[in-house]
Amino acid sequence: MLGLNKGEVRLVPHATDWEEDFIEEKELLSEAIGMLVVDIEHMGSTSIKGIAAKPLLDILVGVRSMDDVTKFDKKRLKEAGYYHLGRVEIEGKVVFAKFTNLEELTKTHVLHIVEYGAEWWLKHTFFRDYLNEHPDVAKQYEKLKKELAATYPDNESLYAEGKLKFVDEVLSKEKTRSFIINEGNLQVRELERVDKVLLSKWLTDPEILRYYEGRDNPFNFEKVEQEFFDDEEDVIRCLVEFSGIPIGYVQIYIVEGEEKLAYGYDDSSQNIYGMDQFIGESAYWNKGIGTQLVRAMVTYLTEEKGADRIVMEPQTWNERAIRCYEKCGFEKVKLLPGNELHEGEYRDCWLIEHNSKTGVGA
């Protein structure tokens, strides 16, 4: 049973129903504040398999901006038992707690509200995931927690302080991001789940959708999850950064089978890659960055992936994009009539190609 009085430090054996409790609470929170939240995840020791924990459910709530917390419906949260802990001042985090007994200040749930994908979000999720992936380390953590709980049964602050060194050592194992392209101001790295906020932002912007996916086809978070993260296609999906700022998306994939034949490539020995991309921040349009990106991706595909040819299918009306690709060595190969459904119409596309042996289209 969940519940811990103020200042009390008490561990209980791991309970399998903690995950069910979290799922129920997530549904409750989604109804109360879901419109302002990117994601809600289980965190803390109750989310780590097989180890003892305080009977207190820690819940991580990710928002687009901390300013969104001021828009929460506090009345609905209070009706659900949650109160804002205004005295808990942690930079980059706002804390709410659920109480079953206000006289004893018996807490059952704690909400850690942070910016989705920012430092706190990454720390909490990495620590949880690392311990779940390394049961031996999780048992070491459990042993430390039991020793601290026995030493400080009535001092939550000293108990928490005693865990810091261990937590920091685990967090130090977090890998730094690796880039498949890192040239001057331009970086390209593989997509991470935290990037869904950016993708949803870009793919709900009519200005972006006019060129990519269509203004009648916006992507909410659920659709981004399905199309970019749950899809099992053999596609390498990447985020594009410029001077450390995320500005766009690029994906690459091997062209094979029926698609290869439809393009007219009968030589099965050729290594052919397809590529799609967009700059999601319109402030970075018309600055040569798209051309820089395409050239860098061509170099990566030919030198690192051994691509004989690289193909794309821009819609015929998108002359600005086609000029960019032509500057990068692509040439029109053939017209693909009615090739792509875009804003309710089947649009003509050009099959364009970069040939690594000639440096241009065949």
pLDDT band at 186 (very low <50, low <70, confident <90, very high): very high
Q: What is the pLDDT of residue 107?
A: 93
Mean pLDDT of 86-113: 90
Residues 50 and 156 in one domain: yes
Q: Tell me if 253 is assigned to some domain.
A: yes
Q: What DSSP assignment string belongs to 298-323?
A: HHHHHHTS--SEEEE--BTT-HHHHH
Residues 66 and 145 in one domain: yes
Mean pLDDT of 32-52: 94
The percentage of residues in the chain with a pLDDT greater than 70, rounded to a whole number, is: 98
Condensed to tens digits (0 to 9), the pLDDT of residues 227-270 reads 998 766 789 999 999 998 899 999 999 998 888 888 888 766 88
Q: Tell me if 212 is assigned to some domain.
A: yes
pLDDT over threshold 90, residue 34: no
Structural domain count of the chain = 2
Q: How many other C-beta atoms can be found within 10 angstroms of the C-beta atom of residue 257?
A: 9
Residues 261 and 164 in one domain: no
Of 110, 25, 126, 107, the C-alpha closest to 60 is 110
Q: What is the pLDDT of residue 53?
A: 97
Q: Which of 171, 197, 221 is the last residue of a domain?
A: 171
Residues 186 and 66 in one domain: no
Residues 153 and 29 in one domain: yes
Token pair for residue 300?
């990566």
Q: DSSP secondary-structure letter at 225?
A: I
Length of the chain (residues) = 362
Q: Tell me if 124 is assigned to some domain.
A: yes
Q: Tell me if 233 is assigned to some domain.
A: yes
Q: What is the pLDDT of residue 362?
A: 44
Residues 188 and 336 in one domain: yes
C-alpha–C-alpha distance, residues 299 and 302, integer Å = 5
Condensed to tens digits (0 to 9), the pLDDT of residues 123-173 reads 999 999 999 999 999 999 999 999 999 999 999 999 999 999 999 999 999
Q: Which of 171, 201, 218 is the last residue of a domain?
A: 171
Q: Tell me if 11 is assigned to some domain.
A: no
Residues 157 and 279 in one domain: no
Residue 248 domain boundaries:
179-355
Residues 126 and 190 in one domain: no
Q: What is the pLDDT of residue 221?
A: 86
* CATH classification of the domain holding 91: 3.30.460.10
Condensed to tens digits (0 to 9), the pLDDT of residues 299-326 reads 999 999 999 999 999 999 999 999 999 9
Q: Which of 110, 144, 171 is the last residue of a domain?
A: 171
Residues 223 and 190 in one domain: yes
Residues 292 and 344 in one domain: yes
* CATH classification of the domain holding 244: 3.40.630.30
Average pLDDT, the chain: 92
Task: Determine the distance from the C-alpha atom of residue 105 to the mean position of all C-alpha atoms in its chain, rounded to a whole number.
Answer: 36
Radius of gyration for the chain, computed over Cα atoms and rounded to the nearest angstrom: 25
- Contact between 136 and 88 (Cβ < 8 Å): no
Residues 339 and 261 in one domain: yes
pLDDT band at 193 (very low <50, low <70, confident <90, very high): confident
Residues 331 and 284 in one domain: yes
Q: Tell me if 3 is assigned to some domain.
A: no
